[in-house]
């Protein structure tokens, strides 16, 4: 196993990953400077080997197009990826994602974004003609088959920005101070099981799902095999990828609500299921019997963001921290209360979500 301190440059490696999420349920826009300010309080939870952000509502002029953020580890990967995209999508606009050379980040991959709609004739070839499945298939193909090209995000009106560095450095590199979003998540990485690389930074995404994660998934192997049965390709060399795909499978494809999905991913213990009243016990027993392979074992706290809101969830014995807070229309999730206080010292409500109990925050209906 590769250990983080082989890669780290601190004399002493300390901490664990840091998470932060902010959402305005009335879709009021929050400038990038706010999330940068918050995640920088959690600086010491990472070690400079991964930082990243997911932002929602940032492309209103292309809100009906899938926004593909694509990372190229070298120029040669661009042509085959663009040819592949042109084969299946109408690309209405594309550009290199603006970045700046910074002191901290000198060597980096290339980043492009493409605003695309699936071609009708291509989509028609898919048996169920489901547009999301179509897009997922193409993302999986690029990640698996086009050398040195990775889709960093692929949802509508959202985007992920991530790389190797502290999150403040990644934000500076991607000029995030210039973006405004109705929800943001941020991650400061402290890699423990896989090496730090640009694609391995968080968030992990698929369609409009984005996951930031603190912890490690010791059930990775069984989760991976379960997902592969449903056609997912796991290419990112990290346990966090499985969480993203499990949410996609349970919520988008199976149609579960987040509460039910949480009962699968961080299920109650058998001892507590056995003590439940009749109907509840039957449902919980069925969920565990059917989807036991989707249970996430090991310590974790995650924020799953999407176009309708975000969800916080920790493992069932609370081996990773998560604090929630609210001020008016703003909700916050964080690894530490201090990061929330940094951007809003007076909070209406602060609470510590219980193990395995999801915090579900949705945007209000427009």
Partner 1 sequence: MRIDAQKLYYRDLNRLIRQAVRHGAEEIVLDNVNGQRYIGDGLSAQTRVIINGVPGNDLAAFMNGLTIEVNANCQDATGNTMNSGKIVVRGNAGDVVAHSMRGGRIFIKGDAGYRVGIHMKEYMDQKPIIVIGGSVGDFFGEYMAGGILVLLGLNQSEDGLKYGDYLGTGMHGGRIYIRADKLDQRRLGAEVRIFETDESDRAFLDGVLKEFAADMALDFKSIMSRGFLKLLPVSKSPYGNLYTHSL
Distance CA 222, CA 170 (A): 33
| Alpha-carbon dihedral sign for residues 337, 361, 176, 164 | positive
Give the one residue of 34, 105, 336, 361 binding partner 1; rule: CB under 8 A. 336
Burial 285-323 (b: 16+ CB within 10 A, else e): eebbeebeebbbeebbbbbbbbbebbbbbbbbebbbbbb
Q: Which stretch binds partner 1 (CB under 8 A): 177-185, 258-266, 305-313, 317-325?
A: 317-325
Give the one residue of 2, 92, 96, 272 binding partner 1; rule: CB under 8 A. 272
Total residues at interface with partner 1 (CB under 8 A): 20
Give the one residue of 275, 292, 329, 348 binding partner 1; rule: CB under 8 A. 275
Is cis: bond before 119, omega within 30 of 0? no
Q: Which residues pair with 150 in a beta bridge?
A: 71
182 is catalytic: no
- Cβ closest to partner 1, residue 162 vs residue 320: 320
Min dist. Cβ of residue 340 to partner 1 (A) = 9
Binding mask 16-45 for partner 1 (x = CB under 8 A): -------------------------xx-x-
Min dist. Cβ of residue 42 to partner 1 (A) = 8
Give the one residue of 137, 341, 344, 360 binding partner 1; rule: CB under 8 A. 341
Contact status: 338 vs partner 1 (CB under 8 A) = yes
Residue with tokens 């439940």: 276
Q: Which stretch binds partner 1 (CB under 8 A): 117-125, 209-217, 230-238, 313-321?
A: 313-321
Min dist. Cβ of residue 272 to partner 1 (A) = 8
Strands (DSSP E) along 105-255, which ranges?
110-118, 149-153, 158-163, 180-181, 183-188, 204-206, 209-215
Contact status: 94 vs partner 1 (CB under 8 A) = no
Q: Which stretch binds partner 1 (CB under 8 A): 210-218, 233-241, 267-275, 276-284?
A: 267-275
The answer to whether the CB of 68 falls within 8 A of the CB of 154 is: yes
Contact status: 359 vs partner 1 (CB under 8 A) = no
The answer to whether the CB of 331 falls within 8 A of the CB of 361 is: yes
Contact status: 360 vs partner 1 (CB under 8 A) = no
Which one from 16, 17, 157, 226 is the annotated catalytic residue? 17
Min dist. Cβ of residue 333 to partner 1 (A) = 14
Residue with tokens 């983080």: 4
Distance CA 254, CA 170 (A): 35
Helix residue ranges, H only, 152-213: 167-173
Contact status: 259 vs partner 1 (CB under 8 A) = no
Contact status: 318 vs partner 1 (CB under 8 A) = yes
Element (DSSP H or E) covering residue 23: strand 18-24
Min dist. Cβ of residue 84 to partner 1 (A) = 45
- Cβ closest to partner 1, residue 60 vs residue 345: 345
Pick from 163, 174, 213, 223: nearest CA to 193: 213
3-state secondary structure of 284: helix
3-state secondary structure of 47: coil
Q: Which stretch binds partner 1 (CB under 8 A): 21-29, 200-208, 232-240, 352-360?
A: 352-360
Which amino acids are annotated catalytic? 17
Q: Which residue ranges make up the site for partner 1 (CB under 8 A)?
A: 41-42, 44, 271-272, 275, 317-318, 321, 323, 336-339, 341-342, 350, 352, 354-355
């Amino acid at each position: 196993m590769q250990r983080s301190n082989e890669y780290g440059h601190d004399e002493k490696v300390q901490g664990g990953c840091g998470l932060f999420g902010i959402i305005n349920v009335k879709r009021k826009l929050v400038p990038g400077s706010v999330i940068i300010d918050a995640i920088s309080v959690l600086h010491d939870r990472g070690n400079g080997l991964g930082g990243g952000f997911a932002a929602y509502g940032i492309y209103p002029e292309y809100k009906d197009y899938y926004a593909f953020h694509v990372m190229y580890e070298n120029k040669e990967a661009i042509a085959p990826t663009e040819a592949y995209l042109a084969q299946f999508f109408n690309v209405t606009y594309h550009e290199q994602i603006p970045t700046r050379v910074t002191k901290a980040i000198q060597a980096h991959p290339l980043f492009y974004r493409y605003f695309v709609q699936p071609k009708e004739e291509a989509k028609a070839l898919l048996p169920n003609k489901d547009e999301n499945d179509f897009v997922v298939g193409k993302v999986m193909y690029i990640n698996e088959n086009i050398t040195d090209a990775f889709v960093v995000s692929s949802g509508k009106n959202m985007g992920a920005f991530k790389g190797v560095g502290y999150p403040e450095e990644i934000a500076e590199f991607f000029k995030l101070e210039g973006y405004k979003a109705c929800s943001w998540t941020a991650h400061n990485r402290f890699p423990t099981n896989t090496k730090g690389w640009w694609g391995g930074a968080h968030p992990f995404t698929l369609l409009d799902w984005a996951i930031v994660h603190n912890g490690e998934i010791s059930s990775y192997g069984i989760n991976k095999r379960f997902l592969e049965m449903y056609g997912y390709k796991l290419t990112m060399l990290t346990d966090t990828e499985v969480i993203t795909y499990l949410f996609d499978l349970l919520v988008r494809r199976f149609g579960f609500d987040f509460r039910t999905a949480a009962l699968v991913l961080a299920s109650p213990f058998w001892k507590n299921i056995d003590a439940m009243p009749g109907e509840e016990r039957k449902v919980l027993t069925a969920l565990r019997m059917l989807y036991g392979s989707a249970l996430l074992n090991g310590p974790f706290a995650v924020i799953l963001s999407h176009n309708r809101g975000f969800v916080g969830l920790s493992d069932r014995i609370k081996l990773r921290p998560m604090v929630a807070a609210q001020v008016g229309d703003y909700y916050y999730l964080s690894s530490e209360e201090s990061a929330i206080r940094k951007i809003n010292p007076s909070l209406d409500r602060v609470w510590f979500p219980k193990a395995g109990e999801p915090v579900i925050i949705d945007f209000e209906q427009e």
